[in-house]
Amino acid sequence: MAYREKEIEKLYYSIGEVAEQFNVAPSLIRFWETEFDILQPKKNRKGNRQFTKEDIDQIRVIYHLVKEKGFTLSGAKEMLKQDAMAIKDKMEMIDSLKTIRKFLLEVKERLQ
């Protein structure tokens, strides 16, 4: 069995890295932090936000509801109160389907 090096994953991400990941301004992430109770990143001694993978997942849900689905902030809050797990499951399914679609398009290109 061949040895594979494990990819090193960061424990914490800066607000700039997170904002870049979603192609939004850092101020929007800060605003969402004040509006949504589920988003509570840690802060270091300087007061800089440190986002974990879980925090980024929460932002992904908020981003999906507000930016992709077009919910208002109050509508997104209500959806999260009702059934946050169902929203996450749907998002995971959508991501899986997008990955499959990308793969199938690559296969189609190779066959042509």
- Write the pLDDT tens digit of every residue in 30-39: 999 999 988 8
What does the alpha-carbon distance between residue 65 and residue 23 come to, in Å, rounded to a whole number? Answer: 15
Residue 47 near residue 55 (C-beta atoms within 8 A): no
Q: How far apart are the first and last CA of the chain?
A: 36
- Give the chain's domains with CATH numbers: 15-82 (1.10.1660.10)
Pairing of β 49-50 and β 42-43: antiparallel
Is the whole-model pTM more than 0.85?
Answer: no
Could you report the per-residue pLDDT of 14-26, keeping only the tens digit for each? 999 999 999 999 9
Which residues does residue 49 pair with via DSSP β-bridges, in sequence order?
A: 43
What does the alpha-carbon distance between residue 95 and residue 101 come to, in Å, rounded to a whole number? Answer: 10
Could you report the per-residue pLDDT of 82-98, keeping only the tens digit for each? 877 788 888 888 888 98
DSSP type of residue 71:
-
**Where is pLDDT greater, at 1 or 15?**
15
Backbone phi, psi, residue 13, to 5° = -120, 145
Local confidence band at 104 (pLDDT 50, 70, 90 cut-offs): very high
pLDDT at 2: 60
